[in-house]
């Protein structure tokens, strides 16, 4: 069967509402810091069913999905969206994520089955799996057919650190991005969450130094989530009770899956001669959705119908 990869549509539809997974935007009462915090454990449990991933592979993808959601909500608005590509030449391959300001996300790791020994601290070795011999690229789509791409060199390959560096260098917004995805060795998602803190103009060097000290001594996000702490709790634990005002809450979820009829429309954009060649040689088409791992098949009759319609319209 002929394989067509990376077919993507812009189609969106109604989705199930899951209030357990949410992203909050907040500001400190003194107006010196803006913060975003997220919990997406249930969403990550769904993602884990899509990809035949190792503990390390799903940890990498989860960090990228959560970090991209927070970055998109920090720098986008309305229907705007972004695509993040992380390629550090490591054994995990490329990490690709799409996210919107409305809380939707999807992504994949080129080699989701990547395995490496645990770090000396007993953690999945994300840094060496991703690598640092490359770049993190962010392409912002503002809906005007003029996407803008910013790129920075990878710093540590840990993803959170690299998004932190991107925010400071490319967006000129000093920030700290922390993402955590706790995965059992069998691939079961235990917790998934994180936060991003950005400085505002009123923050002094002393304020920033104090925050850096707090971050350096902040308990592990996964430990706090296991104790039942919510995104709001994470920020209260960082800045102090009653020191943070929540401005808005957004549900987070995966982009709707691409329907077969949408794939049919995408196939119809291929040249007629190419479709006829596929029909003659392979008698059908097999499409692999890289975001879900699902296979969509078009048999000989279905492909003939696409060709007939295209030919009838003189395309």
pLDDT in tens, 191-238: 999 999 999 999 999 999 999 999 999 999 999 999 999 999 999 999
Instruction: Encode pLDDT of 134-159 as tens digits.
Output: 999 999 987 766 788 999 999 999 99
Q: What is the mean pLDDT of residues 23-35?
A: 97
**Which of the 8 DSSP states describes residue 118?**
P
pLDDT at 2: 34
Contacts of 167 (CB under 8 A, 6+ apart): 71, 74, 173, 174, 175, 177, 196, 198
∠ CA 233-237-241, nearest 5°, is 80
Residue pair 107/98 in contact (Cβ under 8 Å)? The answer is yes
Of the candidates 63, 33, 31, the residue with the CA atom closest to the CA atom of residue 208: 33
Please state, as a whole number, how many other Cβ atoms lie within 10 Å of the Cβ of residue 31.
12
Residue pair 162/138 in contact (Cβ under 8 Å)? The answer is no
Per-residue pLDDT band at 14 (split at 50, 70, 90) = very low
pLDDT at 92 over 50: yes
pLDDT at 79 over 70: yes
According to CATH, the superfamily of the domain at 260-312 is HSP33 redox switch-like (3.90.1280.10)
pLDDT at 263 over 70: yes
The 244-251 sheet, strands edge to edge: 175-183, 189-199, 33-39, 22-28, 244-251
Q: Residue ranges of the alpha helices (H) in 175-259?
A: 205-216, 221-226, 231-239
| Rg of the chain taking only CA atoms, in angstroms | 21
Q: What is the mean pLDDT of residues 273-281?
A: 91
Q: Where do the structural domains in the chain lie, given as residue ranges?
A: 18-254, 260-312
pLDDT at 8: 29
pLDDT at 297: 93
Of the two residues 30 and 50, the one the predictor is more confident about is 30
Q: What is the mean pLDDT of residues 21-25?
A: 96
C-alpha span between 104 and 68 (Å, rounded) = 10
| Token output for 243 | 């020191």
Q: Strand (E) positions, 160-294?
A: 175-183, 189-199, 244-251, 253-254, 285-288
Per CATH, the number for 18-254 is 3.55.30.10
pLDDT at 9 over 60: no
pLDDT at 258: 86
pLDDT at 4: 37
Return the percentage of the chain with pLDDT > 70, whole number: 92
Residue pair 28/239 in contact (Cβ under 8 Å)? The answer is yes
Per-residue pLDDT band at 11 (split at 50, 70, 90) = very low
pLDDT at 95 over 90: yes
Return the percentage of the chain with pLDDT > 90, whole number: 79
Instruction: Encode pLDDT of 100-112 as tens digits.
Output: 999 999 999 999 9
Q: What is the mean pLDDT of residues 295-300?
A: 92
Per-residue pLDDT band at 313 (split at 50, 70, 90) = confident
pLDDT at 293: 86
Positive or negative torsion for Cα 162, 96, 224, 56: negative
pLDDT at 277: 92
């Amino acid at each position: 069967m002929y394989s067509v990869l990376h077919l993507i549509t812009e189609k969106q539809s109604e989705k199930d509402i899951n209030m357990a997974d949410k992203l909050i935007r907040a500001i400190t009462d003194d107006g010196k810091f803006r913060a975003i915090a997220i919990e997406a454990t249930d969403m990550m449990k769904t993602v884990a069913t899509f990809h035949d991933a190792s503990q390390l592979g799903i940890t990498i993808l989860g960090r990228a999905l959560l970090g991209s959601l927070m970055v998109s909500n920090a720098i986008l608005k309305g229907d705007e969206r972004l695509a993040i590509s992380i390629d550090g030449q490591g054994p995990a391959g490329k990490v690709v994520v799409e996210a919107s300001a409305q809380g939707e996300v999807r992504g994949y790791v080129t080699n989701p089955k990547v395995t490496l020994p645990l770090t000396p601290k007993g953690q999945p070795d994300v840094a060496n799996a991703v690598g640092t011999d490359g770049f993190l690229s962010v392409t912002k789509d503002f809906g005007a057919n003029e996407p803008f791409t910013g790129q920075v060199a990878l710093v540590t390959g840990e993803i959170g650190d690299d998004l932190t560096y991107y925010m400071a260098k490319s967006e000129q917004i000093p920030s700290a991005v922390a993402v955590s995805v706790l995965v059992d060795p069998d691939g079961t998602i235990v917790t998934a969450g994180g936060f991003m803190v950005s400085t505002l103009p009123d923050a002094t060097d002393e304020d920033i130094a104090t925050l850096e000290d707090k971050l350096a001594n902040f308990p592990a996000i996964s430990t706090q989530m296991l104790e039942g702490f919510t995104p709001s709790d994470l920020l209260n634990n960082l800045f102090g009770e009653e020191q943070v005002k929540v401005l808005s809450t957004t549900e987070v979820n995966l982009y709707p899956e691409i329907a077969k009829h949408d794939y049919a429309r995408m196939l119809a954009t291929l040249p007629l001669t190419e479709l006829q060649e596929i029909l003659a040689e392979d008698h059908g088409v097999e499409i692999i959705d890289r975001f879900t791992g699902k296979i969509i098949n078009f048999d000989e009759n279905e492909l003939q119908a696409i060709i007939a319609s295209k030919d009838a319209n003189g395309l």
